[in-house]
Amino acid sequence: MAMLSKPQKIRLFFAVFLLISAICGCGAWYFFYYTKTPEYGLGKIQTSFEKHDWQTFEKYVDVDTLLENSTETLIQAMIDTEPPMSGDAKAAMSSFVQMFKAPLALTLRTEVQYYIEKGEWKSRTISSETQDPMSLDMVLTRIGLKAIQFRNIDYVATDRAMGTARAGVRVYQSDIGEEFIFEMKLTQGADGIWRVTEIQNLHDFIALIAKAHDEILADYLTKSQAIMDSHAKSLQAIEQEFSSTLQSGSLGNDETRKALKTIMTEKVVTDWTQRKDELSALTVPPMADTLHHLRLRSCDMRIAYALGYAAWMDDKKAATIRDAQAKLKQAKTLETEAAALARHMSGQPTGVPQAMQDQTKNESQESVPEVQ
């Protein structure tokens, strides 16, 4: 190998020196500057989601401060998106829901940690009809948190003099099919690390979700009302046939009993089964889940009643008709609850037709064949 001349050695030395200096400079820039930037903190938060790393998430998110700010905003937004209330009623409601602030923040922390570590929200098996409207699951559904998907970071604006930064985090909310940019506030700690401390437009996001949910709910109520109205008319015709058959004969007559049984099994059961099938085919928004469940259960009880009545036409046993009547009583109770809930919900969304409030009458006053 040829020996390098002195000038060549000097040039090589300077080249190596510059390369080492550049590497050291990049390393110094990375460790002493970039790791103390909002961009780096946001990147680490994103990585914590991908790697299910709660410790890293907690390092770059001031969880306690964020939850304190967010819970207060969340509660206020939920109050603001309720139907219009008087000043006194609104103040009373605000005082009431404030009692949920501390336990809600604590439970939210546990829920977020579970999501970070597992990559999914906790599954719950609580039936919809027993769900507390202030339960965490209902709150998360109402504010649309469970259906958020990260898209990208749109911008980062840093004010080093104030030790704060703003970041635009773009997400997609699959329930409403829209994107939203969260305005995150980051604060630099004494250790130089930037941490997320607040979502500054959380109220706007919850209001957007509430408006979209109202529109989705209005669509469900309109379509379900059409089904209820249609079957209310068909049941009136069946009731007339039932009454005419009973008046022209007697329960002691075999032909009358056979005719009544046929009406129950071939017409009443068929009509309630069709109603249930049509309701089941609807897309049900989460906020209407309880109402929908009550209606489906009512259909089941009405079908059970009709079949029980038909069985009584054959066996004539008191126990058979008592059981059928019990099913009818359950159906009426469910329909009363559904009517009250539908009445409340029809007054909640913006733009729901006034005729929607007549839906509750159809649910509670439908004429159906019953044993007198």
Residue 34 has pLDDT above 80, yes or no: no
Contact 97, 75 (CB under 8 A): yes
Dihedral (Cα; 201, 206, 207, 209), 10-degree rounding: 130
Q: In whole angstroms, what is the distance from residue 108 CA to residue 139 CA?
A: 10
Contact 291, 340 (CB under 8 A): no
* Phi, psi values for residue 62, rounded to 5°: -80, 85
Q: In whole angstroms, what is the distance from residue 330 CA to residue 336 CA?
A: 10
Task: Fill in the DSSP letter of residue 84.
Answer: P
pLDDT of amino acid 343: 84
Show the tokens assigned to 186.
């980051």
pLDDT in tens, 159-207: 888 889 999 999 998 888 889 999 999 999 888 889 999 999 988 998 8
pLDDT in tens, 260-283: 999 999 999 999 999 999 999 998
CA neighbor of 182 nearest in space, from 191, 172, 190: 172
* Phi, psi values for residue 61, rounded to 5°: -125, 120
Q: In whole angstroms, what is the distance from residue 115 CA to residue 18 CA?
A: 47
Q: Where are the domains of the chain?
A: 210-365
pLDDT of amino acid 163: 87
